Amino acid sequence: MSAPARSDLAAAPADPVGPPPPGRPARRRRLRPGALPVAVIVILLVLPSLIVVPMSVSPGEILRFPPDGFSLDWYRTLFTEPQWTSAMLNSLQVALATTVLAVLIGAPAGLALGIREWRGRGLLLGLVLTPVVAPPVVVAIGMYTTYAQVELIGRWGLIAAHTVLAVPFVVVTVMSAARQIDPTWLDAARSLGASPLRVALTVLVPLAGKGIASGALFAFITSWDEVVVSLYLTDPGFKTLPVQMWNQLRERVDPTVAAVASVMLLITTSAMVAALVIGWRRDGAARENG
């Protein structure tokens, strides 16, 4: 055995299964040496976020780490005091409404952008993605001044604004799922007796469903932890959780904020994990169907 040891990268082209099907990049799950720095970065980003969890169970009045005991008092405050409970309900309401609206707008757009090539496609895609590229403060000021003109402030203003911010995420995830849809499937379904609506229900939704689901989760998260635009568009009678947190932090720093942060972190992380799992399963199914 005199063959020199080869690195993973060098061995990669010698794939015994043959080349991957066209249009789909080959993926490997094996850990590479490069995984180490990635892990370090992830830890550096994740640990500071996680530090709020121990801080939230500290019995004292002041935010401290490490905690000097264990107490769920701050969670009790969070779930009993009206200012927090109403903020949580408001956030949930806005996030759910945003999700529904963003999917209704973004999913058809993503399908249209992903399935066929057409003139003006690039332009529309650019337009749809603007809210992601523009600095949040700029977007917030712009939205505030325009929405104030039509008195679209508070609950509905926030839902409208968050929908604008969330649509691009739905469009992008649905678009990538729609890339796997062959336009002749749509013609085939029509010729076999399906009206456009039934084509959508029997072909498009099943094939792009997972893309739509992960888009919905991204939309939910976008609204759930959005703070900049919300600061402008909420009013004293209608606050979302991040806004309430922000106000609280400026007045008095106590571990309630850490408890809120932990709850937000839990919900956001669950949604992200769900979106990722859906994505993995979609890719897996696509490989199997290849």
Give me the half-sphere count of Cα atoms (radius 13 Å) on the Cβ side of residue 174.
Answer: 30
DSSP state of 5: P
Q: Extract the tokens encoding 151.
A: 């008195």
Q: Which is nearer to other proteins, 149 or 184 (CB)?
A: 184
CB of 24 to other proteins, least distance (A): 13
Give the residue from 12, 91, 29, 139 showing the smallest Cα distance to 267.
91
**CA 175 – CA 195 distance, rounded (Å):** 22
- Report which of 15, 166, 184, 11 is spatially closest to residue 100, judged by C-alpha positions: 166
Total of residues contacting other proteins (CB under 8 A): 20
Does 121 contact other proteins by CB under 8 A?
Answer: no
Out of 36, 202, 252, 277, the residue judged to bind other proteins by CB under 8 A: 202
Q: Determine contact, residues 72/197, Cβ cutoff 8 Å.
A: no
Which two three-digit tokens encode residue 148?
A: 């104030």
State whether residue 238 is helix, strand or coil: strand
Question: Interface with other proteins includes 288 (CB under 8 A)?
Answer: yes
CB of 177 to other proteins, least distance (A): 12
Q: Which of 156, 190, 279, 283 binds other proteins (CB under 8 A)?
A: 190
Binding segment for other proteins (CB under 8 A), chosen from 34-42, 94-102, 185-193, 253-261, is 185-193
User: Is 182 one of the binding residues for other proteins (CB under 8 A)?
Assistant: yes
Q: Which is nearer to other proteins, 97 or 189 (CB)?
A: 189
Stretch that binds other proteins, among 4-12, 39-47, 50-58, 200-208 (CB under 8 A): 200-208
Name which of 198 and 252 has its Cβ closer to other proteins: 198
Cis amide leading into 82 (omega within 30): no
- Collapsing DSSP states into helix, strand and coil, what is residue 235? strand
Binding flag, residue 179, other proteins (CB under 8 A): no
Closest contact distance (angstroms) between CB of 105 and other proteins is: 25
State yes or no: residue 184 binds other proteins (CB under 8 A). yes
Helices 205-224 + 255-289 axis angle, to 10: 160
What SS3 state is found at 99? Answer: helix
The interface region with other proteins, picked from 93-101, 138-146, 197-205, 228-236 by CB under 8 A, is 197-205
Positions touching other proteins (CB under 8 A) are 182, 184-185, 187-195, 198, 202-203, 206-207, 288-290
